[in-house]
């Protein structure tokens, strides 16, 4: 029995990009990386129940597909950056600036009172 190949125009479609280009686009998009609850719990080094509590409270960024919960790695990394405590030098600098501003204001107030009493 002789096999007949279908015409080339039926197997290839000109309007579709090559598979390699599609795969490359997906791999180039870091937001395409979705993690499930056990994976995100391991990534954050917390219990799965903690992750589920955070999801219920909308504390952690997540995506819901019907009864499935998924997490974009890029969203989690950005969320972690926001959760991170500011470094010690930033806090000390803010305190110093606040104290200096208060001292300067007090000094200006004292000088104004001194000029007013003369």
Cβ atoms of residues 41 and 50 within 8 Å? yes
Quote the pLDDT of residue 88: 60
2-11, 28-37, 42-51, 62-71: which range is least confident on average? 2-11
- DSSP letter (8 states) at residue 63: E
Instruction: Please indicate whether residue 58 or residue 27 has the higher confidence score (pLDDT).
Output: 58
Measured between alpha carbons, how far is 41 from 54 in angstroms, rounded to an integer?
11
Mean pLDDT, rounded, for 88-98: 66
φ, ψ of residue 84 in degrees (nearest 5): -65, 140
- The mean per-residue pLDDT over the stretch 14-19 comes to 55
What pTM was computed for the model? 0.49
| Strand order through the sheet with 63-65 | 34-35, 68-72, 63-65
Are 80 and 89 in contact, with CB atoms under 8 Å apart? no
Q: Is the pLDDT of residue 45 over 90?
A: yes
Q: What value does the mean pLDDT take over residues 25-29?
A: 56
Task: Flag whether pLDDT at 60 surpasses 80.
Answer: yes
Report the distance separating Cα 60 and Cα 40, nearest Å.
Answer: 11
**Structure tokens of 94?**
């803010």
Token couple for 106: 């007090």
Our CA dihedral for 41, 83, 30, 60, rounded to 10 degrees, sits at: 50
Express as a percent the part of the chain with pLDDT over 70.
Answer: 58
């Amino acid at each position: 029995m002789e096999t007949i190949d279908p015409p080339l125009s039926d197997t290839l479609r000109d309007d579709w990009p090559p598979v390699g280009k599609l795969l490359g686009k997906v791999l180039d998009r870091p937001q395409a990386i979705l993690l499930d609850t056990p994976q995100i719990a391991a990534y954050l080094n917390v219990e799965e129940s903690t992750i589920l509590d955070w999801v219920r409270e909308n504390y952690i960024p997540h995506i819901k597909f019907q009864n499935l919960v998924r997490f974009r790695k890029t969203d989690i990394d950005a969320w972690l950056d926001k959760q991170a405590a500011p470094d010690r030098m930033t806090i000390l600098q803010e305190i110093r600036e606040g104290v200096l501003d208060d001292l300067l204001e007090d000094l200006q107030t004292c000088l104004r009172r001194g000029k007013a009493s003369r």
